């Protein structure tokens, strides 16, 4: 097969995949962006994704018969359509595992196809050696496009479950798994009571947009829960009011707290962060560690009932969390101790690479911050940024002389913002790697991240060194004609409705 034919093939592929992700532009830009994303997979979240993704589908790696891609495509599209049409009629009050099963089998098929394609490529690569470079690029794009669509589908499947899942999330293990996409897929079994209507929504409406949003939601929820958890380290137990003496006070030493590993193999001395990993490791030391009883998680009941409630003290003398403090407030768990000690008594060694301003002593805090960094669009003249407008105004009303700073003026013509999706932005969050639908997100990012030089350079005017007064003059709106519109607007308010949809309020 000569290369031109292949390009045609690829085009149809892209088309067909864009039928799943209807917002995806026909050009290859988003794909290449994903490309660059893959290359920049040094961020830990991407590593997470990569590994979990691999782990998720180990069973699909058996070789199978190679199909012609063209033959497969229509079926694939049809299948998807059927599914999306079938879902709305499937409105069940309670969670329907069949829907999830449908989704999963669809994914399975897709992955099969993808693997077939990779096989095909592997086969061809040996045949055609001449036009390799160009081919390689196209092939890579093809695969990444498919991977993207699979991931999007995965997120949609899992993400649709999230809102109903949220109340049940309380343990840190569930929270942790939410952040990773592998964990999200698992959640179909994890949360058996989640509602189906969300899935319907996802399939009914523009899929790509929805999935992106749900992915976003998932991340948001994740971090908000995380935030809460972080705070609880220090504050939540204040209301606990355990009478002194009713619990056992443990105090770990500084070295213990800061040690990278907490679980050590009694045989070889190897350290682990997690007990589960230690248990897995122990298997290597003999058959007696391989019994289900030894591998199982030590059950909580047996330990907690027998023992007094444990509370922890901070080793730092003079700290409120130290047992010698007059108003001693104990810490609940070892994790609390660790986070508390690092936050309050250690240097902040993790610096945000995006803003180069915020420093953290706990890696998780940095990650949480990085999710929001640059999106704090409400800026004060003192340089402080706020994620919420009312927080900014509260700050300004408190301090003398602080004024709201006007961020980069909106791109002067509306068309400009629509062509704003940028490759450079793609590597910030995994969620923006679903190219379609994230354009808005990206546009927002660029608008307000004043210090992010890469994003600004994407805009057509150079703002990096000019003061506010030197910005390009915005075009005039027709003042005369807008008057009547304004009046009609004025009377168009909903009469008994406390909230207005303020067009300038992007939240």
User: Which strands sit side by side in the sheet containing 378-380, from one edge to the other?
Assistant: 385-386, 378-380, 404-405
Task: Check: CB of residue 360 under 8 Å from CB of residue 371.
Answer: no
- Name the nearest CA neighbour of 208 among 38, 445, 433, 420: 433
> Of these, 240, 324, 390, 419, which contacts another protein (CB under 8 A)?
390
Is residue 48 within the footprint of another protein (CB under 8 A)? no
Task: Check: CB of residue 208 under 8 Å from CB of residue 21.
Answer: yes
Alpha helices in 181-327, H assignment, sequence order: 181-190, 197-204, 207-234, 254-258, 275-282, 292-295, 300-306
Is residue 413 within the footprint of another protein (CB under 8 A)? no
Is residue 477 within the footprint of another protein (CB under 8 A)? yes
Part in contact with another protein (CB under 8 A); list of ranges 324-332, 419-427, 437-445, 494-502: 494-502
Is residue 461 within the footprint of another protein (CB under 8 A)? no
DSSP conformation class of 42: T
Is residue 484 within the footprint of another protein (CB under 8 A)? no
> Of these, 473, 484, 488, 507, which contacts another protein (CB under 8 A)?
473
The CB-of-446 to another protein minimum distance in angstroms stands at 18
Query: In whole angstroms, what is the distance from residue 321 CA to residue 326 CA?
Result: 10
What is the SS3 assignment for 271? Answer: strand
Is residue 471 within the footprint of another protein (CB under 8 A)? yes
What is the SS3 assignment for 399? Answer: coil
Is residue 483 within the footprint of another protein (CB under 8 A)? yes
Is residue 108 within the footprint of another protein (CB under 8 A)? no
Helix 172-179 with 181-190: angle, nearest 10 deg:
130
Is residue 466 within the footprint of another protein (CB under 8 A)? no
The CB-of-384 to another protein minimum distance in angstroms stands at 14
Q: Give, in order, the Cα–Cα distances in Å from 346 to each of 154, 207, 251, 258, 361.
A: 40, 46, 17, 10, 7
Is residue 414 within the footprint of another protein (CB under 8 A)? no
Is residue 397 within the footprint of another protein (CB under 8 A)? yes
Total site size for another protein, rule CB under 8 A? 39
Part in contact with another protein (CB under 8 A); list of ranges 134-142, 246-254, 319-327, 486-494: 486-494
The CB-of-455 to another protein minimum distance in angstroms stands at 20
The CB-of-387 to another protein minimum distance in angstroms stands at 14
Is residue 63 within the footprint of another protein (CB under 8 A)? no
| Contact set for another protein, span 328-387 (CB under 8 A) | 378
The CB-of-443 to another protein minimum distance in angstroms stands at 18
Is residue 64 within the footprint of another protein (CB under 8 A)? no
Is residue 167 within the footprint of another protein (CB under 8 A)? no
Return the ∠ at Cα 19 (arms to 17 and 23), rounded to 5°. 95
Is residue 505 within the footprint of another protein (CB under 8 A)? yes
The CB-of-487 to another protein minimum distance in angstroms stands at 8
Listed in sequence order, the residues at least 6 apart from 410 whose beta carbon sits closer than 8 Å to its beta carbon are 417, 447, 474
> Of these, 372, 406, 418, 460, which contacts another protein (CB under 8 A)?
406
Task: Check: CB of residue 401 under 8 Å from CB of residue 421.
Answer: no
> Of these, 46, 57, 247, 393, which contacts another protein (CB under 8 A)?
393
Query: In whole angstroms, what is the distance from residue 185 CA to residue 106 CA?
Result: 13
> Of these, 476, 484, 488, 507, which contacts another protein (CB under 8 A)?
476
Is 446 exposed, middle or buried, given 0-12, 13-18 or 19+ CB atoms closer than 10 A? Answer: buried
Is residue 467 within the footprint of another protein (CB under 8 A)? no
Can you spell out the DSSP letters for 237-263?
Answer: GGGT-PPTTSEEEEE--HHHHH-S--E
Is residue 389 within the footprint of another protein (CB under 8 A)? yes
Q: Which is nearer to another protein, 313 or 385 (CB)?
A: 385
Cα end-to-end span (Å), the chain: 52
Listed in sequence order, the residues at least 6 apart from 409 whose beta carbon sits closer than 8 Å to its beta carbon are 471, 472, 474
Part in contact with another protein (CB under 8 A); list of ranges 122-130, 320-328, 394-402, 450-458: 394-402
- Name the nearest CA neighbour of 100 among 31, 185, 180: 185
> Of these, 94, 235, 248, 489, which contacts another protein (CB under 8 A)?
489
Is residue 327 within the footprint of another protein (CB under 8 A)? no
Host H or E run for residue 379: strand 378-380
> Of these, 27, 486, 488, 507, which contacts another protein (CB under 8 A)?
486
The CB-of-385 to another protein minimum distance in angstroms stands at 13
Is residue 129 within the footprint of another protein (CB under 8 A)? no
Query: In whole angstroms, what is the distance from residue 181 CA to residue 175 CA?
Result: 12
Part in contact with another protein (CB under 8 A); list of ranges 180-188, 368-376, 419-427, 495-503: 495-503
Q: Which residues bind another protein (CB under 8 A)?
A: 378, 389-390, 393, 396-397, 401-404, 406, 409, 468-469, 471, 473-477, 479-480, 482-483, 486, 489-491, 493-498, 500, 502-505
């Amino acid at each position: 097969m000569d290369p031109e034919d292949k390009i045609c093939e690829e085009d149809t592929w892209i088309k067909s995949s864009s039928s799943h992700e209807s917002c995806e532009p026909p050009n290859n830009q988003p794909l290449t962006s994903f490309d660059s994303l893959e290359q920049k997979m040094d961020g830990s979240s991407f590593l997470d994704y990569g590994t979990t993704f691999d782990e998720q589908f180990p069973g699909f790696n058996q070789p199978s018969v190679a199909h012609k891609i063209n033959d497969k495509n229509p079926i694939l599209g049809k299948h998807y359509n059927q599914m999306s049409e079938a879902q709305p009629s499937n409105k069940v009050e309670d969670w329907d595992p069949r829907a999830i099963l449908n989704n999963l089998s669809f994914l399975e098929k897709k992955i099969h196809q993808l693997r077939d394609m990779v096989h095909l490529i592997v086969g061809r690569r040996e045949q055609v050696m001449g036009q390799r470079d160009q081919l390689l690029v196209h092939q890579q794009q093809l695969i990444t496009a498919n991977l993207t669509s699979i991931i999007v589908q995965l997120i949609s499947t899992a993400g649709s479950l999230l809102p109903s899942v949220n109340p049940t999330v309380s343990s840190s293990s569930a929270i942790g798994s939410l952040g990773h996409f592998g964990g999200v897929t698992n959640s179909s079994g994890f949360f058996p009571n989640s509602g189906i209507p969300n899935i319907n929504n996802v399939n009914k409406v523009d899929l790509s947009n929805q999935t992106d949003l749900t992915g976003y939601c998932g991340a948001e929820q994740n971090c908000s829960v995380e935030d809460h958890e972080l705070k609880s380290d220090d504050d939540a137990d204040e209301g606990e009011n355990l009478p002194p003496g009713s619990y056992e006070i443990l105090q770990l030493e500084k070295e213990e707290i800061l040690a990278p590993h907490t679980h050590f193999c009694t045989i070889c001395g190897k350290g682990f962060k997690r007990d589960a990993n230690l248990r897995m490791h122990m298997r290597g030391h003999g058959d007696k560690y391989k019994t289900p009883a030894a591998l199982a998680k030590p059950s909580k009941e047996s330990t907690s009932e027998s023992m007094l409630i444990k509370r922890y003290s901070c080793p730092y003398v003079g700290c409120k969390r130290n047992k010698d403090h007059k108003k001693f407030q104990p810490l609940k768990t070892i994790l609390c101790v660790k986070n508390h000690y690092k936050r309050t008594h250690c240097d902040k060694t993790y610096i945000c690479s995006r803003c180069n301003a915020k420093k953290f002593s706990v890696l998780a805090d940095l990650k949480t911050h990085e999710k929001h960094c640059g999106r704090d669009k409400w800026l004060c003249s003192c340089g402080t940024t706020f994620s919420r407008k009312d927080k900014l105004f509260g700050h300004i009303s408190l301090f003398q002389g602080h004024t709201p700073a006007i961020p980069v003026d909106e791109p002067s013509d509306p068309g400009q913002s629509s062509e704003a999706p940028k490759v450079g932005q793609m590597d910030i969050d995994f969620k923006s790697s679903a190219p379609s639908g994230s354009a808005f997100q990206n546009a927002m990012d660029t608008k307000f991240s004043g210090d992010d030089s890469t994003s600004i350079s994407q805009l057509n005017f150079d703002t990096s060194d000019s003061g506010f007064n030197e910005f390009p003059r915005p075009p005039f709106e027709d003042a005369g004609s807008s008057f009547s519109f304004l009046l009609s607007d004025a009377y168009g308010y909903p009469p008994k409705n406390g909230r207005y949809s303020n067009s300038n309020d992007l939240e």
